[in-house]
């Protein structure tokens, strides 16, 4: 790790402020709380959902399973960043969600996000992209400014970690987990329902995976939080 930042709080209002300062048009896309995992509460999340950010505690069981799961070293067309900065997982998850979804079309010209997107496209792998983030003064400034608005202490060592889920594949029928601590993107769901909005969709299938992969193996753990990046009529 190259240095350590103040950890971001899992808060959609702070995520929206981060996004606005970095150059996302919030009239088109914004972050929204996921209040619970049952059908009624999921129905309160505006659609379409473009990405899901997930915060969880790093447990021994989670770490063991992560070592066994195979990632895609290149990740196809996805823009994946290796995390090289301590406590930067929140910002990396935000970048993963915006740059790998339709929200990328609403990045403002000349903004820090546009600069990172264009420079990232030219780099060959996640390690190089992670090094790019280390050299971005604009990114560090925005991260630290937003992190100080949260309730965490500046010197706090945290065992909580952010990851991001996005669509992939030619038909958008694949769901990938993007985690800067891994070696690349991880394919977690091959959607059986494809893009049919009347069937179980991206959000519901992501929630199913989170429940089985993280919650069921840590039944006594309560430190979980989910936030959606939403667009369209939701904005």
Give tens-digit pLDDT for 10-47.
999 999 999 999 999 999 999 999 999 999 999 999 99
What does the alpha-carbon distance between residue 57 and residue 59 come to, in Å, rounded to a whole number? 6
Q: Averaged over 134-161, what is the pLDDT?
A: 86
Mark whether 161 is an active-site residue.
yes
Decide if 198 contacts 182 (C-beta within 8 A). no
Catalytic residue among 89, 96, 143, 164: 89
Query: What would the CATH number be for the domain defined by 12-234?
Result: 3.40.532.10
What does the alpha-carbon distance between residue 80 and residue 75 come to, in Å, rounded to a whole number? 7
What is the predicted pLDDT for the residue at 151? 77
What does the alpha-carbon distance between residue 27 and residue 174 come to, in Å, rounded to a whole number? 27
User: In this model, does residue 196 exceed pLDDT 80?
Assistant: no
What is the predicted pLDDT for the residue at 234? 42
pTM attached to this predicted model? 0.93
Domain map (residue ranges) of the chain? 12-234
Cα distances (angstroms) measured from residue 72 to each of 23, 80, 86, 180, 220: 29, 10, 23, 13, 31
Mark whether 134 is an active-site residue.
no
| 3-state secondary structure at position 119 | helix
When pLDDT is cut at 50, 70 and 90, the band that residue 172 belongs to is: confident
Catalytic residue among 96, 143, 161, 164: 161
The β-bridge partners of 32 are: 228
What is the predicted pLDDT for the residue at 198? 44
Q: Running DSSP on this structure, what letter comes out for residue 212?
A: I
Instruction: For the chain, give the percent of residues with pLDDT over 70.
Output: 89
Decide if 6 contacts 152 (C-beta within 8 A). yes
């Amino acid at each position: 790790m190259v240095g350590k930042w103040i950890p971001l709080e899992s808060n959609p209002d702070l995520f929206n402020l981060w996004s606005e300062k970095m150059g996302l048009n919030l009239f088109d896309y914004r972050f929204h709380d996921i209040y619970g995992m049952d059908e009624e509460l999921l129905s309160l999340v505006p659609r379409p959902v473009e990405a899901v950010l997930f915060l969880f505690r790093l447990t021994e069981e989670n770490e063991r399973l992560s070592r066994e799961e195979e990632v895609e070293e290149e990740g196809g067309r996805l823009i994946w960043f290796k995390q090289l900065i301590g406590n930067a997982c929140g910002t990396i998850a935000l970048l993963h969600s915006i740059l790998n979804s339709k929200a990328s079309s609403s990045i403002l010209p000349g903004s820090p996000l546009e600069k990172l997107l264009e420079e990232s496209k030219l780099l060959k792998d996640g390690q190089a992209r992670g090094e790019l983030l280390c050299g971005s003064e604009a990114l560090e400034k925005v991260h630290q400014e937003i992190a100080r608005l949260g309730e965490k202490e500046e010197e706090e060592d945290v065992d909580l970690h952010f990851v991001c889920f996005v669509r992939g594949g030619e038909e958008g029928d694949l769901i990938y987990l993007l985690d800067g601590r891994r070696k690349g993107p991880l394919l977690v769901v091959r959607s059986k329902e494809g893009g049919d909005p009347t069937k179980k969709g991206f959000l519901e299938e992501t929630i199913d995976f989170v429940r089985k992969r993280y919650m069921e193996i840590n039944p006594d753990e309560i430190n979980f939080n989910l936030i959606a990046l939403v667009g369209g009529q939701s904005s």
